[in-house]
Homo-oligomer: A and B are copies of this chain.
Amino acid sequence: MEGREFKDAMYEGLAKMLKALSNSARLEIIEMLSQGEKSVEGIVQSTNLSVANASQHLQVLKNNNIIKSRKEKQYVFYSLVNDDFLALYQHIIKYAVGEIAELEKIMNRQREDNKALNAVSLDELDTMIGDDHVLLLDVRPKTEFEFGHITGAVSIPMNELMAHLKDFSKDKEIIAYCRGPFCVLADEAVKMLSEKGYKVRRLNEGYPEWKVKQLEINK
């Protein structure tokens, strides 16, 4: 193989993988799958996609070694191919949110709207863990919590939150988290709880970011 041929082949292969990532529907699917495996139906429920369209996007991701599938009964369950991809994906998001002014602006506007500007970072959270006055609240669906959660967190899915208000003490500082920086469940929880007079902030990141950080530490 000549030099140019080789280069072209490598860049085309690389571009092909990046093309698979460069679509908003597929990025949302990736976020879903970083919370654990999901069936096609599961993905359709929390996106605006039709079943056929979701299936097509899943094929694209699968053909590019980003996700893998497993069949059980009638269902096909998809999941991220490995944690290395998760780390790469978070690196991309971190760069984009930090360097692309457009994205930074959208993010800040959202946070302002939700008074979520004084969010807690993962590093800050480290210093708070173990403190009796802090309650770490996971507001994702139960199945996602069961697949994995931040050590010490308590699971109260968003749709059950109202019913569990009585369980919280107004003395405690509540830190709510969900799927990641683009997930709005934690914002909703903060809004609801602060209206009721609780001390509450959101975590800037979500479960997958915490997980990748743990993997880094234990490497």
Contact = CB atoms under 8 A, between A and B. Distances in A.
A115 to B, nearest CB: 14
Interface string A89-110: 0011101101111110011011
A88 interface: yes
Contact of A27 (B11, B27, B84, B100): B11
Contacts of A8: 24
A137 B101 CA distance: 40
- Most B CB contacts (10 A, CB to CB) among A6, A16, A102 go to A6
B14 A93 contact: yes
A99 B64 CA distance: 9
A7 B184 contact: yes
A122 interface: no
A68 to B, nearest CB: 11
A63 to B, nearest CB: 10
Copies in the complex: 2
B182 A7 contact: yes
A182 B11 CA distance: 9
Contact of A21 (B18, B65, B99): B18
A22 B24 contact: no
B6 A110 contact: yes
B182 A106 contact: no
10 smallest A-B Cβ distances: which pairs? A18-B22, A11-B24, A3-B184, A19-B22, A13-B103, A15-B24, A11-B27, A12-B24, A6-B110, A22-B22
Interface string A1-34: 1011011111111111111011111111000000
